[in-house]
Amino acid sequence: MKLLLVFLIVFVSGCAAKGPAFSESSLPDDGHPLIFVYRPCNWVGSAATLLIQFNSDELRSLKNCGFVRLRTSPGAQRVQVLARGFQSWGAPEPLVEFEAVANQTYFVRYTASASFIPSGAGGLIPLSSSTFMEVDNATGLQEIRALNLSD
């Protein structure tokens, strides 16, 4: 049993982002908006790497405890989690759309959660869900400080 627990800890910890830590020195000042998509540390879905698509062409991998960033042009922005593998079960792919302004920073957070409901046989049925949403800058800055670059 202990060996299994050690294996699981090593396996899951290997799935976390290991790039440089977030730094506020990278905030925009060159006329371009900057979008951060981040994923706070969470055991639910921690082994899965998400594929984030920016404006239908730019792709980035987002790991647990990580963030990705995109310096873009002002105007309409589309940020989406693309389903792949076991994630592709027919549900709509999470999407956030907004208008970006020059020299502004935007934060989009992905979180997963799990719950259980009792089954008729006395067991539990696991349920999982996720949220993908734009958050205000104060919240985004506070939460992203503990994360590392994913790609």
Radius of gyration of the chain (CA): 17
Which residues, in sequence order, are bridge partners of residue 21?
148
What is the tens place of the pLDDT at every residue in 81-118?
Answer: 887 655 545 566 788 999 999 999 999 999 877 667 77
Return the pLDDT at 7.
Answer: 40
Q: With CA atoms as reference, report the closest residue to 13 among 59, 66, 60.
A: 66
Give counts: helices (H), strands (E), the chain.
2, 9
Does residue 73 surpass a pLDDT of 90? yes
Q: Which of 25-29, 58-62, 92-96, 98-102 is least confident? A: 25-29
Q: Residue 26 phi/psi, 5° resolution?
A: -95, 10
**Structure token pair of residue 26:** 């990278």
pLDDT at 4: 39
Three-class DSSP category at 26: helix
Q: What per-residue confidence (pLDDT) applies to 118?
A: 79
